[in-house]
Amino acid sequence: MTLSREFYRHGPDVRQGNPVGFVEVRKRFDFRFIGIGRWVTQAEQNRAAGLFYDALVDLMTILKCPEPLISLRGTLSLQYGIGGRPGVAAHYQPSMRCFSLAKNAGPGSIAHEWFHALDHYLGGTAFDDAPAGMFASKAWLADATPVVHPLNDDLYACFRQIMLAEDGDSPSPLFEASVRVDKVMNQVYYSQAEELCARAFEAFVQDAAITNNFLVSGTKMTAEAEQGLYPRGEQRERINLAFQRYFNRLGAALNSEIRRSMR
């Protein structure tokens, strides 16, 4: 997937014909820093900025949350065409609180990497005794002490639906499929808590009324989906509902906070 191709998007016109660069992306969402690779041409940079802008506004709309969530209150950085790893289209760097997309292979990975950033951010707020830098999903699986709050209760419900079966005790179909694939590949990757949750979030975003395959793609008609590496059937429905409840509550809280600050 390269920026020379067209990306499918079905959603409102958020740019209204106006040119948008990475300066506008940073200003709107208050990213801490945006880095662009030296091999990204000006034309590629201009096109990418518009695609990022659309994708992040779409994500904000799907989550029903304001701009501060997208940049995690100004703590998150973004890199495009820089900081890549061999064979990796996109990745999140916890030490830098930065998500990076490769120039020619990263599109479609934004939702996944953004959720890693959120998961990492929440590890420091949703639990009392989680080790520094631990993802919230991993802390939940490790039975870290929860911080009592209605928002956190909804977050834990998301983790429960992703990692546990409907009985609330045995492993979920998503977890079991991920373990099977890991065993075949002689690795522990797909079954990690943070990876399970990022893929579940991708599915939730792709199932929304707004569609944007620069933001997310591949949770339905891919080899990974056929292997069960994305939620399916009733589990997918339960996860989507849990995410919807969580982000509805989170969005309401953040929007209320913004209104109070403007008085």
pLDDT tens profile 140-190: 999 999 999 999 999 999 999 999 999 999 999 999 999 999 999 999 999
* Residue (of 2, 83, 4, 76) closest to 37 by Cα position: 83
Secondary structure class of 171 (helix, strand, coil): strand
Q: What is the DSSP letter of 136?
A: H
Determine the straight-line distance between the first and last CA of the chain, rounded to whole angstroms. Answer: 46
Q: Residue 80: beta bridge partners?
A: 36, 101
This prediction has a pTM of: 0.94
Cα 102 from Cα 209, distance rounded (Å): 27
pLDDT tens profile 87-116: 567 899 999 999 999 877 667 999 999 999
Work out the average pLDDT over 66-91.
85
